[in-house]
Amino acid sequence: MSPWNPSKFKNIEGVLDDAKSVGYAGISYDVEYISPESVWRIGMCDAWNSHFQKVKAAGLMVHVTNAWTSMWTTAGTCNAFCDEVMQCILKSDHVDIISPQIYCNGPAWAGSCDYLNTPKPIPTQLSGSKITWDMYIAAANPKTKIMPVLTRTCSSSGSIYSNLYTACQTVPSPYKTFLTNINDFATYFCKKYGDRYCSDGFYWYPYFTA
């Protein structure tokens, strides 16, 4: 995954008309890695907002997803600049949907969910972030929908692309069903950190287990 930098904006802006003409409804930005502050120089926030505004002007939606409450730098760590970028995106008037990737407890990475307890701890690499779950939701623009990414455990060791639908119809023991996970998420996470996390819906991330 290559880090975000200003040149990526120009690449995307060059294909906006084509994207619209072939039927795309919007652009989804996976903002998990960011180039260092020295690459952006001054005007970082203006650059993001100007780009998002151009995407909206082209008639496309803007969706952003990020890791936990912030992101990483190219050095593999989180710092104050990461949080500055995250705050900018959260407050933007031009983001339609934002999706924090909320991983959870379990015997495997992003595996078994148990949202009745504390979500999977933020990894050491992201420990430099100062944005807490309640701060994340408080900083978000009131017009932006918040649709978290939750984990759905699927019973398969095959290709994620060839058998996604079939694999995710059955839940291997002892994993909870996705519906149970969502109910637990609403019961615990949204009550603890803010009901807005549950008000607009969810995306799901398939985790495959044999």
> Which stretches in the chain have pLDDT values below 50?
106-111
pLDDT (tens digit per residue) in 16-59: 999 999 999 999 999 988 998 888 888 999 999 999 999 999 99
Unique residue bearing structure tokens 């008639």: 59
Which residues form the domain of 205?
6-209
How many other C-beta atoms lie within 10 A of the C-beta of residue 45?
16
Q: Is residue 198 part of a domain?
A: yes
Q: Is residue 1 part of a domain?
A: no
pLDDT at 205: 75
What pTM was computed for the model? 0.86
pLDDT at 111: 46
- Sequence length of the chain is 210
* Pair of tokens at residue 115: 């949202």
How many other C-beta atoms lie within 10 A of the C-beta of residue 195?
10
Q: Is residue 189 part of a domain?
A: yes
Q: Is residue 205 part of a domain?
A: yes
* Pair of tokens at residue 168: 């995710």
Q: Is residue 144 part of a domain?
A: yes
Tell me phi and psi for residue 83, to 5 degrees: -65, -35
Q: Is residue 51 part of a domain?
A: yes
62, 96 contact by CB (below 8 A):
yes
Q: What is the 3-state secondary structure (H, E, C) of 130-191?
A: CCCHHHHHHHCCCCCEECCEEEEEEECCCCCCCCHHHHCCCCCCCCCCHHHHHHHHHHCHHH
pLDDT at 119: 60
pLDDT at 120: 59
d(CA 106, CA 186): 18
Total domain count, the chain: 1
